[in-house]
């Protein structure tokens, strides 16, 4: 039996395009994982609906911008409000459920949103998605492209002759990541944040002290949904399209991979974990073993999965996590 040809090149490590692409993806999933960290790491609720909230945010932003006279900049806060409303709709009936049933309810919500987007052709474009074509007079990313051109002009004036087209998005995405991280760190140290930890540690004890545990869990879920909406914008602007396939359950599982790498109850760990996760996943594109693309994709996921397994075996708390933060109540 002939040995499989193995070809690995490391030229990509010096490519600005590679690191820009990794950086945008890492920022997108860092935002999603920050919301999940608030839910899982600090409130003790397992939310598998992140991809659904991302889809609501991205589609709402795109539909409002394309189909109405609402400006792109006004559609952004409106999309957050709509996504938060969906968080309320999902959370009110499901947060009284046990942890495992809550996980099922939220992943079902995400799939319902994706299937609606796939079939509501008049509103969402169906399987074609929402994108900019030559015959469209208005695109959802027109205003963003103007901002991107302005940032590129600044980079030119600073001496960068040919900045990557995604570099402005990279800067804005990581600025949003840092803003959200510092905001979460601030509220986590507040009395509200301490109640969340109390709910996570012992919900019955929190109730005995007069705290409405369901209300606090609902607030955590709604805030997580708002952060996921922001991640949905970044993904849509990165791909220049909003398509149902971009919001499959794999998106949520990738975000949980970032969470596992970074460690529970560590917001900074999420940021580092996202960079490590996407550097590894994108770098494995350059391992050339199989001719079939599906086999190559399977190999990439297998390598990332092996790294996560080894991490769970030797450091189950993640890069910055603590072992005492891993115990969640039912």
Q: How many CB atoms lie within 10 A of CB 181?
A: 18
Token output for 192: 């509200």
Calpha distance 230→249 (Å, rounded): 18
Q: Give the residue extent of every domain in the chain.
A: 7-326
Token output for 92: 């009110």
For range 255-279, the mean pLDDT:
95
Token output for 46: 């397992």
Phi, psi of 264 (to 5 degrees): -70, 145
Token output for 128: 């074609």
- 267-283 vs 16-36: helix axis angle to the nearest 10? 140
**Given this model, what pLDDT does residue 119 score?**
96
**Given this model, what pLDDT does residue 297 score?**
83
**Of residues 254 and 134, more confidently modeled:** 254
Q: 30 pLDDT exceeds 90? A: yes
pLDDT tier at 134, thresholds 50, 70, 90:
low
For range 159-177, the mean pLDDT:
91
**Of residues 279 and 132, more confidently modeled:** 279
**Given this model, what pLDDT does residue 8 score?**
61
**Given this model, what pLDDT does residue 274 score?**
97
Q: What is the pTM of this model?
A: 0.93
Mean confidence (pLDDT) of the chain: 90
**Of residues 119 and 1, more confidently modeled:** 119
pLDDT tier at 1, thresholds 50, 70, 90:
very low
For range 244-264, the mean pLDDT:
95
Are 205 and 197 within 8 A, CB to CB? no
**Given this model, what pLDDT does residue 136 score?**
63
Calpha distance 9→6 (Å, rounded): 10
181-198 pLDDT, tens digit each: 999 999 999 999 999 999
Q: 9 pLDDT exceeds 80? A: no
Q: Which of 36-45, 66-75, 104-113, 248-257 has the lowest mean pLDDT?
A: 66-75
DSSP assignment letter at 209: T
Q: 6 pLDDT exceeds 90? A: no
Helices (H) and strands (E) in the chain — how many of each? 13, 4
The CATH-assigned architecture of domain 7-326 is Orthogonal Bundle (1.10)
Q: Which of 12-21, 234-243, 264-273, 292-301 has the lowest mean pLDDT?
A: 292-301
Burial of 287 (0-12, 13-18, 19+ CB in 10 A): middle
**Which residue bears the tokens 């030229």?**
11
pLDDT tier at 2, thresholds 50, 70, 90:
very low
Phi, psi of 270 (to 5 degrees): -60, -45
Torsion of CA 237, 242, 248, 253, to 10 degrees: 10
CA distances from 300 to 279, 281, 287 (A): 12, 6, 8
Q: Are strands 130-131 and 7-8 parallel, antiparallel or unpaired?
A: unpaired
Are 218 and 38 within 8 A, CB to CB? no
208-222 pLDDT, tens digit each: 999 999 999 999 999
**Given this model, what pLDDT does residue 205 score?**
93
pLDDT tier at 163, thresholds 50, 70, 90:
confident
**Which residue bears the tokens 């968080």?**
87
Q: 330 pLDDT exceeds 50? A: no
For range 146-161, the mean pLDDT:
90
Q: Which of 6-10, 118-122, 174-178 has the lowest mean pLDDT?
A: 6-10
Q: pLDDT above 70 covers what percent of the chain?
A: 94
For range 24-28, the mean pLDDT:
98
Q: 266 pLDDT exceeds 50? A: yes
268-302 pLDDT, tens digit each: 999 999 999 999 999 988 877 777 778 888 888 89
**Given this model, what pLDDT does residue 133 score?**
63
């Amino acid at each position: 039996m002939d040995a499989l040809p193995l070809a690995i090149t490391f030229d990509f490590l010096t490519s600005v395009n590679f690191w820009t692409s990794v950086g945008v993806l890492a920022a997108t999933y860092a935002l999603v994982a920050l919301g999940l960290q608030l839910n899982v790491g600090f409130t003790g609720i397992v939310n598998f609906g992140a991809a659904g909230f991302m889809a609501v945010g991205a589609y709402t932003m795109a539909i409002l911008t394309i189909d109405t006279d609402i400006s792109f900049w006004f559609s952004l806060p409106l999309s957050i409000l709509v996504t938060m409303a969906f968080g309320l709709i999902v959370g009110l009936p499901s947060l009284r459920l046990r942890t495992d049933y809550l996980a099922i309810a939220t992943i079902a919500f995400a799939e319902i949103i994706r299937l609606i987007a796939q079939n509501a052709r008049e509103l969402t474009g169906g399987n074609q998605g929402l994108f900019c074509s030559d015959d469209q007079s208005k695109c959802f990313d027109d205003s963003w492209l103007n901002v991107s051109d302005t940032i590129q002009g600044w980079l030119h004036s600073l001496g960068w002759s040919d900045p990557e087209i995604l570099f402005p998005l990279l800067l804005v995405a990581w600025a949003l990541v840092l803003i959200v991280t510092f905001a979460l760190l601030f509220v986590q140290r507040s009395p509200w944040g301490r109640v969340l930890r109390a709910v996570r540690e012992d919900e019955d004890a929190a109730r005995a002290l007069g705290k409405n545990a369901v209300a606090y869990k609902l607030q955590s879920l709604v805030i997580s949904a708002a952060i996921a909406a922001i991640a949905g914008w970044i993904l849509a602007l990165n791909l220049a399209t909003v398509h149902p396939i971009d919001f499959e359950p794999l998106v949520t599982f990738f975000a949980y991979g970032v969470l596992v790498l970074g460690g529970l109850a560590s917001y900074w760990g999420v940021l580092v974990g996202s960079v490590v996760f996407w550097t590894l996943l994108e770098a494995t594109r350059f391992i050339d073993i199989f001719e079939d693309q599906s086999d190559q994709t399977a190999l990439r996921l297998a390598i990332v999965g092996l790294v996560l397994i080894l991490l769970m075996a030797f450091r189950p708390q993640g890069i910055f996590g603590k072992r005492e933060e891993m115990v969640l109540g039912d």
